Amino acid sequence: MSYVVVDVESDGPIPAEFSIVCFGAVILDELLNQTFYGRTRPISERFIPEALAVSGFSRAQHLGFDEPKNVMENFEEWLEKHSKGRPIFVSDNPAFDWQFVNYYFHRFLGHNPFGFSARRIGDLYSGLVKDASKGSEWKKYRITAHTHNPVDDAKGNAEALRKMKELGLRI
């Protein structure tokens, strides 16, 4: 199995009513050089300007992005090429990121290569240090700045996971 660190930027809080703007993924390994970046055009007329602004794109730019079906097909091909066995979805906040990726995979491809579960980095860290109140302290191990470019954010999160592995997390 391969751990795949994913980050999503969207124009609202929930899939179907709002849309993915862009997302990034990184295979968790020593080099962190296997990355994916996708930008999808809106699937809904609805958007929250403040949510869209986090991505750094305008609505006009977002409307010109790629067809979601094509992006999800490309993402699945990338996963097949770069992951060993079943890919495991890992995120800073799978309650947000996974719901969008899961919805898009099911809507556009009819299945999700990640299956039906995900791992939250904060929970992994809490288990590592045996203290549930420390769930956000793992962020100190990011090297790449958290810029809201989803590849940068996924890479920073993967760097933190790599450090957690050095500290004894068995992944």
Distance of CA 109 to the CA centre of its chain: 18
Tokens of 14: 């929930």
Please tell me the distance from the alpha carbon of residue 50 to that of residue 115, in angstroms, as a whole number.
31
* Contact between 41 and 62 (Cβ < 8 Å): yes
The answer to whether residue 148 is catalytic is: yes
Q: Which of 62, 106, 111, 148 is catalytic?
A: 148
* C-alpha to C-alpha distance for 168 and 129, rounded to whole angstroms: 10
Q: H-helix or E-strand containing 23?
A: strand 20-27
The residues that are catalytic are 148
